[in-house]
Copies of this chain bind each other. A is one copy, B any other.
Amino acid sequence: MNAPQQALPGSKAALPTLGLREFWYPALLSKKVGKKPVPIKMLGEEIAFFRDDGKVYALYNRCPHRGLPLSCGRREFPGTLTCLYHGWTFNTAGECVAALNEGPQSSIPGRVKVRSYPTAEINGVIFVYMGNKEPRPLEEDIPEELMTTSNIVHTHIEEWNCSWMPALENLQDSHDIFVHRRSLFYLFRKLPSWATVGVSLTDDGRGVDIRYDKMGPAQAEYETVGKYPRQVWWRRFKINSPRPGQYPKTELRLPGVVRIGFSDLMYVRWAVPVDADHVRAFLFTSRHATGLNGFVYRLYYAFIASWIFLRFFIGQDKIVFEKQDYSAPERLSQTDTGVIRWRRLVAEAARQEAGDDAIEAKFGAGQLVNG
């Protein structure tokens, strides 16, 4: 009996609107960062990314002096970023090494610091760690299919006008067979009429696995409304129709990473909170293909997959979560079990981080001032 889950909390109130902090996040494409600093807002905080001697650095995007964005500054000396306003100059670790307007005798250098963030550059994407603790090992946060160098990894970035939570919950239920039934992607597939959801925690306790537990036939008979869906002749061919157990498993991991494994390709959607009302989505596809296979796959991605999947299919999702009134009362059900488990996981992680936030509050957001 799939009774409506009235008792389950799954409350939205305990979710951190600006995301979790003690995790690595993708920030932007490698090719976007050169000597000229680039400002990126994420987790409600602005960061200036810049490259020096090949490596990428990230500083909190406010000069501690008078609050000018450091991304307005420039590279006056190797290994530094100089603020546009008064020439306070910071090294890649965020330490002020010179206050140009005050001269060599200024007592500012060595006494002022701007927060710097650890970064990593993997497969053409820059990752950043914004937490207060020691950065976690990259492998714990970044899925292996994004870190491997033997796969072809494509990255497509979108900004959506909604909070990060609906953008992730979108992949935790059985909306798939309903919203996308009329997509090109599913056009020739024989989809189940309905599905119930099975949920389990991942082995490391940091993610939720969702799979279709039971699946209805291609067409079901509803007592009240009759048959659904309407059968059309072109779906008879059963091209690519998944059978029970074959439907791709969806994993949703902290801090907000969805992984869907297809037979030959991993799809990863990583939702990075920008602010309370915007999310930056990194849509990764990773596939092992070399030689001619690789060439054909690249063509397929560029001219077919990126349109059929990223534009049209994801475009249908975008309509849904941008329109969703996430503040409205809700009535969760069996197929939302994954949503509920996921929210619990996030709320628990947020509670753990609260201690760190208390520490940060002493120094001000993004600011580390030395004694």
Out of B72, B222, B326, name the residue touching A323 (CB < 8 Å): B72
Query: Are A178 and B101 within 8 A (Cβ)?
Result: yes
Out of B1, B72, B99, B222, name the residue touching A107 (CB < 8 Å): B1
Query: Are B67 and A328 within 8 A (Cβ)?
Result: yes
A77 CB contacts on chain B under 8 angstroms: 225-226, 228
Query: Are B326 and A85 within 8 A (Cβ)?
Result: no
Interface hits, A190-225 → B, CB 8 Å: 193-196, 214, 216, 220-225
Query: Are A174 and B101 within 8 A (Cβ)?
Result: yes
Interface hits, A216-263 → B, CB 8 Å: 216, 220-226, 228
- Asked if A112 is at the interface (CB within 8 A of a chain B CB), the reply is yes
- Interface contacts beyond A1-B107, A2-B106, A67-B326: sample of 4 additional A-B pairs, CB < 8 Å, sorted by A: A87-B178, A87-B228, A89-B225, A103-B194
Interface hits, A324-356 → B, CB 8 Å: 324-336
Out of B86, B87, B320, name the residue touching A85 (CB < 8 Å): B320
Minimum distance in angstroms from A291 CB to a CB of chain B: 42
- Asked if A64 is at the interface (CB within 8 A of a chain B CB), the reply is yes
- Asked if A319 is at the interface (CB within 8 A of a chain B CB), the reply is yes
In the assembled complex, 5 residue pairs joining A and B whose CB atoms fall closer than 8 Å, in A order, are A62-B325, A68-B323, A85-B320, A98-B222, A108-B333
Nearest B residue (CB) for A67: B328
- Asked if A364 is at the interface (CB within 8 A of a chain B CB), the reply is yes
Nearest B residue (CB) for A107: B3
The 6 A-B residue pairs with the shortest CB-CB distance in the complex, in nearest-first order: A103-B194, A67-B328, A67-B325, A97-B224, A77-B225, A87-B178
Minimum distance in angstroms from A263 CB to a CB of chain B: 24
A76 CB contacts on chain B under 8 angstroms: 225, 228
Query: Are A101 and B175 within 8 A (Cβ)?
Result: yes
- Asked if A111 is at the interface (CB within 8 A of a chain B CB), the reply is yes
- Asked if A135 is at the interface (CB within 8 A of a chain B CB), the reply is no
Nearest B residue (CB) for A103: B194
- Asked if A173 is at the interface (CB within 8 A of a chain B CB), the reply is yes
CA of A222 to CA of B193 in the docked complex: distance in angstroms?
73
User: Beta-carbon contacts of A138-174 to B below 8 Å, as 1s and 0s?
Assistant: 0000000000000000000000000000000000011
Given A98-B225, A103-B216, A331 contacting B178 (CB threshold 8 A): no
Query: Are A80 and B225 within 8 A (Cβ)?
Result: yes
